[in-house]
Amino acid sequence: SGFRTCCDVAMTDKQKGLPQKLEGIVGKKFVKCNADVQGSRLGRGTALALVKPGSMAEAVQVLEECVAADVVIIPQGANSGLTGASVPRNTKSDRPTVIINLRRLDKMIPINKGQQTLCYAGVGIFDLQEKLKKEFNRDSHSVLGSIFLNPTTAAGVAFGSGGTQIRKGPAYTDRALWCKVKENGSVEVVNTLGILDGGDPFT
């Protein structure tokens, strides 16, 4: 219909065509249009699209298309937060929302004999703990708190044990790779990992 559920303004042509563009990047089965999303504890809303990239290259392309279409962008991990921050707020937004769910980016690469681990954004902290316990007989994260919900390392470590509670947990974020939107609307990949293996940084 060209009319969005979040507000009283018709979508632009770019916004109308965005779901199809996202399908072209990640595949049709990884894009859900008009997705009704509910938080694990509170919050509920409808997203123009919920998209699940399967690689970092796809995630960057998805972000670029969303920025170009001028939609609200919500990065989502396991949707296990208690504040409802990973679901749309339709009545409080003047634009349609796209959720970029990062759960498919679940690669874990232990380095330095398991002393450190390179985790993609969708890795669950419980899954990480299980892997390091099995392969190196060591813990990866505090066993307290929300680990049983298996939130992603991007949230549970970067913003939890390794962020606001860095002195409480044994895990922390040493280096990271992330995207930022520049003033001209382009997307820049910022890589502080320091890994030079000669390969494709997005594989």
Alpha carbons within 13 A on the beta-carbon side of 157: 26
Could you give the angle at the alpha carbon of 98 between the alpha carbons of 92 and 104, nearest 5°?
A: 135
Give me the sign of the Cα torsion angle 13, 19, 22, 24: negative
CA 113 → CA 135, 137, 153, distances in Å? 9, 11, 19
Q: State residue 4's pLDDT score.
A: 46
> Phi and psi dihedrals of 144, rounded to 5?
-90, 180
Find all residues with CB under 8 Å of 24, minimum gap 6, and list them: none
Q: State residue 174's pLDDT score.
A: 77
Q: State residue 159's pLDDT score.
A: 54
Alpha carbons within 13 A on the beta-carbon side of 25: 23
Q: State residue 3's pLDDT score.
A: 40
Residue 40 contacts residue 79 (beta carbons within 8 Å): yes
Q: State residue 34's pLDDT score.
A: 93
Residue 172 contacts residue 160 (beta carbons within 8 Å): no
Find all residues with CB under 8 Å of 12, minimum gap 6, and list them: 69, 70
Q: State residue 162's pLDDT score.
A: 47
Using the CB atoms, write b or e for 121-145: b if 16+ within 10 Å. Answer: bbbbbbbbbebbeeeeeeebbbeeb
List beta partners, residue 98: 49, 73
- What is the mean pLDDT for each group of 10 consecutive residues in the chain (203 residues)? 53 95 98 90 89 95 96 90 80 89 93 87 88 84 65 68 51 81 92 70 56
> Phi and psi dihedrals of 40, rounded to 5?
-65, -25
Q: State residue 2's pLDDT score.
A: 44
Q: State residue 52's pLDDT score.
A: 97
Q: State residue 114's pLDDT score.
A: 83
Could you give the angle at the alpha carbon of 63 between the alpha carbons of 1 and 69, nearest 5°?
A: 35
